[in-house]
C-alpha cells in the first residue's frame, strides 16, 4: 500500500508509474475522497473537543453538587452531530482504503519501461548449455520412462495439474528441499521456519494477495482460511503488527512449504509436465531489512538463490523485470530462468523482489533504530530459493543421458545415499 500523503504530494509520479505498468486508476476520485476526509476530520474533531471539555465540566459540577442539566441537554445535540459525521467519516475512510489497496507499488527508478515478458532485459547468464548427441526429451517423457513421475494418476487422484512422484522421483524432490535448506541455513545465514500452510485473510492482505487476486487462491470456505500460494505469505506475516528492534535487523528467514495456486488465467499454458501445477514445493527466502540497505540486500538475495543452481551446475540466466511484467507489490524483481534442453527454452525458477515498504505498510511491520528514534516501516524482500519441482525437472532435462537414465548432480548425491544415476530399473 502506498502512503496517502505520498500520493497527495507526488501525484504526477504515481500516475505516470501506474500507467507505465499498464494500469488506469481513478486518481481524481482518490484525491477527492482524501480531501473530503480531511475536511470531515477537522469538523468532527472540533465537536469532539467541545464534547470532551463540557463532559469534564459536567463531572466537576456533579462532584460539587451543582446543576448540570443545561450542559447535558446541549451535549446531547453535539453528540448526535458527532455520530452522523463519524458515520460519514467511517464510510469515507473505508472507500479510500479500498482504493488504496488496489494501487500497485511504485517501481524502482532502474526498472525499464516495457509491456511484458519479451521486454525484460537479460542481465546475466551462467553455465554451459549442454550439447546432446541425441534429441533431448522433455522431462515428462523422462519421468514417465523412469517411472518416477506419474501424471495420469495424479489427475486420477485429484485432477488436472496434480502429479504423483514415485520412488527416486519422490526422493529426489525431498533431497532437493533438504539441500536447499541446508545451503541457506548453513552458508547464507538464514533461520529456518516451518510455517502454517493455511493463513487468514489479514495475512493475505498484508503481503498483497488480497483483495485483488482472490481468484488465484484456494480458499477453505467453512473456516475462511486460504491455502498459501507461497511461503512469502506466512513468513512475512511473522512480524505483522510488530515493532522490530533495530538491533535485530536484518532478519533472514528461509522456509520450505508446498504452494497452492489456482493458476487462473493460464488455461492451455504449460499443460504438460511439472512446470505449472496447482500444488508445488518451494524453498523461500524472506528478509526484513532497514530501508537504506534494501537494494544491496536484493543483490545478495539474488546471489543466494543463484548459488543453488551453481552448486547443481544447471545453466541459467537472470532477467530484470520491466514495468509491464513487474508484480503488483514489487518495486523491483529479478527472475532467474533455467535452461530446459528438452523444451529448448528458459523457464522461471526464482523470482527475487524488493517490496520496499509496500508490504510493511499493509502489514504494519515497523522497526525502531534505537531507543530514541521514531518507528519506521521496514523493507521486505523475498525470493524463491528455489522452486523445487522446477529444479527437479531442470535436472531431468539437463542431466539426461542417451540411454534414458539421468545422472544425479554431485552436490545432491550425499542427500540420496550416494546414488549417482537414476536408471530404468
Catalytic residues: 261, 276, 348, 351, 390
205 binds RNA (CB under 7 A): no
- Interface with RNA, residue 72, by CB under 7 A: yes
Q: Does 198 bind RNA (CB under 7 A)?
A: no
Considering only residues 25, 193, 238, 243, which one is a binding residue for RNA as defined by CB under 7 A? 243
Task: Determine what percent of the chain falls in helix, strand and coil, rounding each to the nearest 5.
Answer: 45, 20, 35
Nearer to RNA, 52 or 189 (CB): 52
Name residues contacting RNA, limited to 22-51 (CB under 7 A): 38, 41-42, 45-46, 48-49, 51
| Cα gap 6→88, rounded to integer Å | 24
Within 10 Å of residue 319's Cβ, how many Cβ atoms?
A: 20
Provide the minimum distance between the beta carbon of 83 and RNA in the complex, in angstroms, as a whole number. Answer: 7
Smallest distance, Å, CB 98 to RNA? 16
Tell me the three state secondary structure of residue 157.
helix
272 contributes a contact to RNA by CB under 7 A: no
- Binding to RNA by residue 194, rule CB under 7 A? no
Site string for RNA, 362-381 (x = CB under 7 A): ----x-x--xx-xx------
Do 388 and 372 meet the contact criterion of CB atoms below 8 Å apart?
A: no
Nearer to RNA, 22 or 59 (CB): 59
Q: How far is the CB of 423 from RNA (least distance, A)?
A: 35
Residue 2 C-beta: closest distance to RNA, Å: 12
Please state, in angstroms and rounded to a whole number, the distance separating the CA atoms of residues 407 and 81: 77
From the list 343, 341, 336, the residue with the least C-alpha distance to 309 is 336
Q: Which of 16, 19, 26, 52 binds RNA (CB under 7 A)?
A: 52
Q: SS3 string of 369-401? A: CCCCCCEEECEEEEEEEEEHHHHHHHHHHHCEC
C-alpha torsion angle, residues 297, 1, 240, 374 (rounded to 10): 80
Residue of 383, 380, 355, 401 whose CA lies nearest to 137: 401
Which residue, 25 or 85, has its beta carbon nearer to RNA? 85
Is the bond preceding residue 250 a cis peptide, omega within 30 degrees? yes
Among 15, 25, 31, 58, binds RNA (CB under 7 A): 58
* Residue closer to RNA, measured from CB, 53 or 271: 53
The yes or no reply on residue 76 touching RNA (CB under 7 A) is: yes
d(CA 198, CA 259): 10
Nearer to RNA, 25 or 41 (CB): 41
Q: How far is the CB of 93 from RNA (least distance, A)?
A: 9
Q: Is 147 left (phi over 0), alpha (psi -120 to 50) or beta?
A: left
Q: What are phi and psi of 125, to 5 degrees?
A: -130, 145
Contact 197, 228 (CB under 8 A): yes
* Residues 168, 177 contacting (CB under 8 angstroms): no
In terms of DSSP H, where are the helices of 225-265? 232-236
Q: Is there binding between residue 4 and RNA (CB under 7 A)?
A: yes
Position 408 contacts RNA (CB under 7 A): no
Size of the site for RNA (CB under 7 A): 33
Which positions from 137 through 156 interact with RNA, judged by CB under 7 A?
A: none
Q: Does 113 bind RNA (CB under 7 A)?
A: no
> Binding RNA by CB under 7 A: which of 6, 10, 36, 79?
79
Count of CB atoms within 10 A of residue 192's CB? 13
- Of 16-24, 75-83, 97-105, 296-304, the window that binds RNA (rule: CB under 7 A) is 75-83
Min dist CB 96 to RNA, Å, is 11
**Least distance in Å: CB of 101 to RNA?**
16
Cα–Cα–Cα angle for 173, 175, 180, rounded to 5 degrees? 100
Binding residues (CB under 7 A) for RNA: these are 4-5, 38, 41-42, 45-46, 48-49, 51-56, 58-60, 62, 71-72, 75-76, 78-79, 90, 243, 366, 368, 371-372, 374-375
Amino acid at each position: 500500500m502506498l502512503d496517502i500523503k505520498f500520493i497527495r504530494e507526488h501525484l504526477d509520479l504515481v500516475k505516470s508509474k501506474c500507467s507505465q505498468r499498464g494500469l488506469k486508476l481513478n486518481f481524481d476520485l482518490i484525491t477527492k475522497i482524501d480531501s473530503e476526509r480531511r475536511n470531515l476530520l477537522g469538523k468532527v474533531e472540533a465537536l469532539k473537543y467541545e464534547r470532551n471539555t463540557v463532559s469534564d465540566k459536567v463531572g466537576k459540577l456533579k462532584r460539587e453538587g451543582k446543576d448540570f442539566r443545561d450542559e447535558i441537554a446541549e451535549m446531547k445535540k453535539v453528540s448526535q452531530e458527532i455520530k452522523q459525521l463519524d458515520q460519514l467519516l467511517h464510510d469515507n475512510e473505508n472507500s479510500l482504503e479500498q482504493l488504496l489497496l488496489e494501487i500497485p507499488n511504485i517501481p524502482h527508478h532502474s526498472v525499464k519501461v516495457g509491456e511484458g515478458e519479451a521486454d525484460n532485459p537479460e542481465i546475466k547468464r551462467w553455465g554451459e548449455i549442454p550439447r546432446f548427441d541425441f534429441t533431448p526429451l522433455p522431462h515428462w517423457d523422462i519421468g514417465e520412462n523412469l517411472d518416477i513421475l506419474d501424471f495420469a494418476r495424479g489427475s486420477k487422484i485429484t485432477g488436472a495439474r496434480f502429479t504423483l512422484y514415485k520412488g527416486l522421483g519422490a526422493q529426489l524432490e525431498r533431497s532437493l528441499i533438504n539441500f536447499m535448506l541446508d545451503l541457506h541455513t548453513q552458508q547464507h545465514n538464514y533461520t529456518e521456519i516451518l510455517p502454517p500452510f493455511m493463513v487468514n485473510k489479514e495475512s493475505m492482505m498484508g503481503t498483497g494477495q488480497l483483495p485483488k487476486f482472490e481468484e488465484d487462491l484456494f480458499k477453505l470456505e467453512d473456516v475462511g482460511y486460504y491455502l498459501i500460494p507461497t511461503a512469502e505469505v506466512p513468513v512475512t506475516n511473522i512480524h505483522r503488527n510488530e515493532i522490530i528492534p533495530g538491533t535485530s535487523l536484518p532478519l533472514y528467514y528461509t522456509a520450505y512449504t508446498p504452494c497452492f495456486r489456482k493458476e487462473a488465467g493460464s488455461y492451455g499454458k504449460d499443460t504438460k509436465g511439472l512446470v505449472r501445477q496447482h500444488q508445488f514445493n518451494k524453498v523461500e527466502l524472506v528478509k526484513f531489512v532497514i530501508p537504506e540497505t534494501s537494494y544491496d540486500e536484493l543483490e545478495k538475495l539474488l546471489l543466494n538463490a543463484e548459488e543453488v543452481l551453481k552448486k547443481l551446475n544447471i545453466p541459467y540466466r537472470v532477467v530484470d523485470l520491466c514495468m509491464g511484467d513487474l508484480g503488483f507489490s514489487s518495486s523491483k524483481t529479478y527472475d532467474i530462468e533455467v535452461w530446459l534442453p528438452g523444451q529448448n527454452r528458459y523457464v522461471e525458477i526464482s523470482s527475487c523482489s524488493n517490496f520496499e515498504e509496500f508490504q510493511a505498510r499493509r502489514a504494519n511491520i515497523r522497526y525502531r533504530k534505537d531507543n530514541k528514534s521514531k518507528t519506521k516501516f521496514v523493507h521486505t524482500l523475498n525470493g524463491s530459493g528455489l522452486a523445487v519441482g522446477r529444479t527437479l525437472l531442470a535436472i531431468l532435462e539437463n542431466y539426461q543421458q542417451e540411454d534414458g537414465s539421468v545422472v544425479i548432480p554431485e552436490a545432491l548425491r550425499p542427500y540420496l545415499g550416494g546414488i549417482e544415476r537414476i536408471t530404468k530399473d
